[in-house]
A and B are shown apart, each in its own frame.
Chain A
Amino acid sequence: MSAKLEERSIVVPGDLIYEGRIRTGDNTYRDRENVYATKVGLVNYSKDRVSVIALEGGYAPLVGDLVIGTVTDLELGQWLVDIDGPTDAVLTVSEATDKPFRTSLDMTQILDVGDLVVAKIFDLDRNRTPLLSILGRELGRVNEGFVIRITPSKIPRLIGKKGSMINMILKETRCNVTIGQNGRILINGRSRGDEELVERVIRMVEDEAHTSGLTNRIQEYLKSIKEEKK
C-alpha cells in the first residue's frame, strides 16, 4: 500500500504508480495489486484514488461536453458532425429545431455542410456515437469569430479551477471565448489584435500547462502588454 512516485512527477505508459488496493482514476489501470499509468502525464495522488493528468491525448466524448464541430454531411433527418473524436457525431433534426420534421423541411436552412456548430453532447448511443443537441442558449451555428485548436487534454488547464484561468483571460482581454471540450476554441473579439492576443495567450497555456503558477504568469503577461499599449 504505497505511492511509488512523487506527486506531479512525469510518467509514461507502463510506469508503476501505486502498489496496493486503491481506486483507479483517469488514465490508469490495475494489474493484480499494482496500478500503472496509460498515458504520458503527471501523477495525481488524492485521498482515495490515484490518477494521471494527461499531457497528450485525443478527445474522448463524454455526455455533457460542449463541443465545436464542422458539419460534414447531410442525411435524411440528421447531420454528421466532425468533432475531432474517434467517430463522427450525429445531430438529428429533433435536436436542432422545435418544428416537427417533414420532408419539405429544408435542412440546409438550419445547418449546411461546412458550417461550424457549437453543440452539446446529450447522449452516447449504444455504439458510443455521440449524439448532439443545439437546442439551448449559446448553441447552434457559428456566424462570426475564428476557431483555433489545442490539444484536448489541455482544455481543463485552460479553464482552470472553477474557471479561474479563462475568466482571467476574458477579463483582461474583453473577448468572447467559447471553449469546446474537443480542443476547438471559438474566439470573438472587438478587433483582430485582441483576438490574436487571446490566441497567443492560449498557446502559452498549452505549452506550459504542466508548470505551476501559470495563471499568475499569464496575468502578468497580459498586464504588461496592456501597459505597452498605453
Chain B
Amino acid sequence: MSKQRKRKPAKTWERIDGRKHDELRPIHIESGVLPNADGSAYIEMGRNKIIAGVYGPREMHPKRLSKPNMGVLRCRYHMAPFSVDPRRSPAPSRRDTEISMVMRDCLEPALFLERYPRSVIDVFVEIIQADGGTRCASINAAAVALADAGIPMKDLVSACAAGKYEGRLILDLGDYEDKKGESDMPVAYMPKFEQVTLLQMEGIMTREETEECVRLAVDGCKKIYEIQKEALKKKYAAVREEAGQVAAEAEFEPEPEPEPEEAEEPTTEDEPTEDEEQ
C-alpha cells in the first residue's frame, strides 16, 4: 500500500496549473503601448499583467542626484491597490523599494550609462495584476521598454524564477507555488553575454539543487529572450508588410538606397530647406 502511494504521485505528479516542471507560463509581450512615453511595454506572464514606461535620457530633477561622469537609471516598481487580494495600500512599501533597487541593479549592466553624464533614464513599472514572479515579469517588460525607447543596450535582460515545490525543482513559480513552496530563486540574465545580472534566493536548497535551479532558470530566460525579441520586431514587421503591399500594387521599383542616411552632414542636407524659405 505504502509502496503504491509512493509510486503513484511520481508518475502523475502535476503542478497546480498542469504545467511540466520546466514549462513557462504563457507569455505575451507588446511594445510601444504608451504614446506619451519614450518607450513602453506591456507583459502578460501567466496572470501577471504589467505595464512599463521609459522616459529619457533627460535632465535630472533634483539636479543634486545626477552624476557628473555618468547617467543614472531610476526605477520605480509599484503595485496598483487592486493588483492583489486583499487590496493593498498604494503607498510604496519596503518590498517595492527593494524591487525597485533590484531592477535597477540588474538592468544597469545592459546600458551604456557613461554616455549620458548628468542625465537620468526613468523606468516606471506598474503592476496591474499580480500572480507571483512579478519582479521577473517587470524586468522583462522594462528591458523591452528600454529597447523600445531607443536607449543603447549591450543586450536585452530576461528574467525568470525557479524554485522548489513539494521537493521538486520547478521553473517559473506561480503565486501558489511561490507561497507554499520551499524555495524561490529569481534570476535575471543577459543571454548574449551569458551573464547573470540578478540572483536572489529565499528558502532552503542544497548546493546541488541550487546549481540545478540556476541552470533551470537560465534556460527559462533564454526562452523568454526569444519572446522579447519577437515583441520588438513585431511592431515594425506589420507596417513593413502593409507598406510593401502598397508598393507592389503601385508597381514601384524599390529604391536602391531608400533608407535614412546617417545624419553625418545635417547642415548640407538642411540647406535646400533654408533656400526654399527665403
Q: A86 to B273, Cβ gap below 8 A?
A: no
Inter-subunit contact A13/B273 (CB<8 Å): no
The answer for the CA separation of A25 and B272 in the assembled complex, in Å, is: 27
B residues in contact with A198, CB < 8 Å: none
* Interface set, chain B 43-85, CB cutoff 8 A to A: 56-59, 68, 71
When C-beta atoms are compared, the residue in chain A nearest to B152 turns out to be: A38
- Residues of B with C-beta under 8 A to A6: none
Complex interface residues of chain A between 34 and 72 (CB less than 8 A to chain B): 36, 38-40, 42, 44, 51, 53-58, 62, 64-66
A192, CB-defined interface residue at 8 Å: no
Q: From the candidates B39, B190, B239, B260, name the one contacting A14 in the complex (CB within 8 A).
A: B190
In which size bucket is the chain A interface? 35 or more
Q: What is the minimal beta-carbon distance from A161 to any residue of chain B, in angstroms? A: 6
- List the B side residues contacting A184 at CB < 8 Å: none
Does any Cβ of A come within 8 Å of B125's Cβ? no
> How far in angstroms is the closest Cβ of chain A from B64?
15
Choice from A10, A56, A88, A157 contacting B260 with Cβ under 8 Å: A157
Partner of B59, one of A62, A88, A159: A88
Whether a CB of chain A sits under 8 angstroms from the CB of B246 is: yes
Cβ-closest chain B residue relative to A204: B243
Point out the residue from A40, A178, A215 that lies within 8 Å of B273, measured CB to CB: A178
Question: Is the CB of B159 closer than 8 A to any CB of chain A?
Answer: no
Cα of A66 to Cα of B255 in the assembled complex, Å:
28
* B17 at interface, CB cutoff 8 A: no
- B128: Cβ under 8 A from any A Cβ: no
Q: B272 — nearest CB in chain A belongs to which residue?
A: A163
Q: Which of B2-10, B131-139, B263-271 contacts A (4 or more CB under 8 A)?
A: B263-271
When distances are taken between beta carbons in the complex, the residues of chain B under 8 Å from A217 are 243, 246-247, 250, 252
Report whether A58 and B190 are in contact in the complex, using a CB–CB cutoff of 8 Å. Answer: no
Is B253 a contact partner of A213 (Cβ separation < 8 A)? yes
Cβ B154 vs Cβ A13 within 8 A:
yes
